A and B are shown apart, each in its own frame.
Chain A
């Protein structure tokens, strides 16, 4: 089973709303990632969790707040987003965070629209 599950699949939110994206994997992977992907662009790394601790934050604005409640779950809390934050948000996991990284498996993504 190489499945990463993301919910919701689609989300429309206003600029004053607070919402959360959820990601779950049961492969025992110890590294989990959030990526943002705009149309016709490659995924851009936002955050990396290594053994449930935040290890990389790619200078992401504080209106995006990640959380890793346990080794299987990863959340992305959203607050006061802007329309330009509309994108596909992808969660991924890999067996180990490094130094020789194994391949990453992606969830289907949450397509977020900020209105």
Chain B
């Protein structure tokens, strides 16, 4: 079983749709959680950090459920420019954290 798992997709949605991504992690000692997006042949870029209280940034909302070891990302009113791979990232470790990437979910927003 992979340490961080995501549905690989692809998710094909029309513009304006709401889409939700899920991520599960296996290490209960995980400490920090992030969503990154990666465009084709580009580097991963931080989308947002994820907190237990939930956080929102414009059309994007992230949630963390530590008890279920589950992270989610909701994108409202999808834009064509949202098309990318969304990567769930989890960190754990002692003095030095490892950033462990999920398998990524491909989103294709259609006109």
- Note all chain B residues with C-beta closer than 8 A to A87: none
Q: B46 at interface (Cβ–Cβ under 8 A)?
A: yes
Give A2's nearest chain B residue, CB to CB: B46
Contacts of A106 in B (CB 8 A): 43-45
CB-CB under 8 A for A103 and B34, given A42-B101, A42-B102, A108-B42: yes
Partner of B95, one of A97, A107, A111: A97
**Stretch from A13-21, A43-51, A61-69, A78-86 contacting the other chain:** A43-51
Secondary structure type dominating chain B contacts: strand
Secondary structure dominating the interface of A: strand
CB distance from B72 to the nearest CB of A (A): 18
Output the least CB separation between B33 and chain A (Å): 10
Residues on the B chain within 8 Å of A31, using CB: 96-97
Range, interface on chain B: 20 to 34
Chain B nearest CB: distance from A85 CB in Å? 18
Q: State which of B12-20, B60-68, B75-83, B86-94 sits at the interface with chain A.
A: B86-94
Instruction: For residue B20, give the distance in angstroms from its CB to the closest CB of chain A.
Output: 20
Partner of B87, one of A42, A48, A88, A98: A42
Binding site for A on B (CB under 8 A): 31-32, 34, 41-46, 49, 87, 89, 91, 93-104
The 3 closest A-B pairs by CB, nearest first: A98-B97, A42-B101, A101-B97
User: Please, could you name 21 A-B residue pairs with CB atoms under 8 Å apart, sorted by A?
Assistant: A33-B99, A42-B87, A42-B102, A42-B103, A43-B44, A45-B99, A48-B96, A50-B96, A56-B93, A92-B99, A97-B95, A98-B91, A98-B94, A98-B96, A99-B31, A100-B31, A100-B32, A101-B32, A103-B34, A104-B99, A106-B43
